Amino acid sequence: MKNAFRTISRSRKEEEFMSKTEENLGEAFAGESQANRKYLAFAAKAEQEGYSQVARLFRAAAEAETVHAHNHLRALKGIRSTKENLEEAVSGESHEFREMYPAMIDQARAEGNKEAERSFVYANEVEKVHHRLYEEALAKMGSAEEVYPYYVCPVCGYTVGKDAPETCPVCGAKGKVFKKID
């Protein structure tokens, strides 16, 4: 978990000087973040199977895990100015699509795991888009802010501002299924 956290918050040199408590906070942040996402997936499955109260419980627990993750990140001083946060996001997305996902795609391909390969390819393509969106936001900082919603593909995560496309350029999903983010 420490390496995953390092890519979003610490340089290698800074990591060398991390206290054990800081390492623990990083590990706890990663674990709570993963629990949030897992519980939301569990909630969707429970809802699909007709267990609405169990789905509510999973969503409530997911929200609590988010509170924990945010507390840990604040204790790590991991939330800085918006400009610094955007710069970190650009760096993280760049690492993902240039280094992390290509290696994962190659491994999945070598093992013949088509589902994992597709998941990694979708994520890799979308991380490129996120990188571009963050760079654009960084470049526009300080100028008049244009306000518009974003749309996210529920199949691959493709993200676009203003209007959903007719079909997703990454996975081909219909634009009408995109989730609007205000």
What gap in Å lies between CA 96 and CA 166, rounded to an integer?
27
Question: Domains in the chain, ordered, with CATH?
Answer: 2-75 (1.20.1260.10), 80-145 (1.20.1260.10), 147-182 (2.20.28.10)
Alpha helices in the chain (DSSP H): 2-9, 12-16, 20-48, 52-75, 82-95, 101-111, 114-140
Tell me which residue of 152, 27, 7 sits closest to 94, measured CA to CA: 7
pLDDT-derived band at 2 (thresholds 50, 70, 90) equals: very low
Q: How far apart are CA 2 and CA 91, in angstroms?
A: 17
Per-residue pLDDT averaged across 127-131, rounded?
98
Whether the Cβ atoms of residue 151 and residue 129 lie closer than 8 Å to each other: no
Q: Is the pLDDT of residue 120 over 50?
A: yes
| Mean per-residue pLDDT over the chain, rounded | 92
CA nearest to 87, candidates 125, 142, 134 = 134
| Strand-pair partners of 174 | 167
Parallel, antiparallel or unpaired: strands 179-181 and 159-161: unpaired
- The per-residue pLDDT for range 37-64, each reduced to its tens digit, is 999 999 999 999 999 999 999 999 999 9
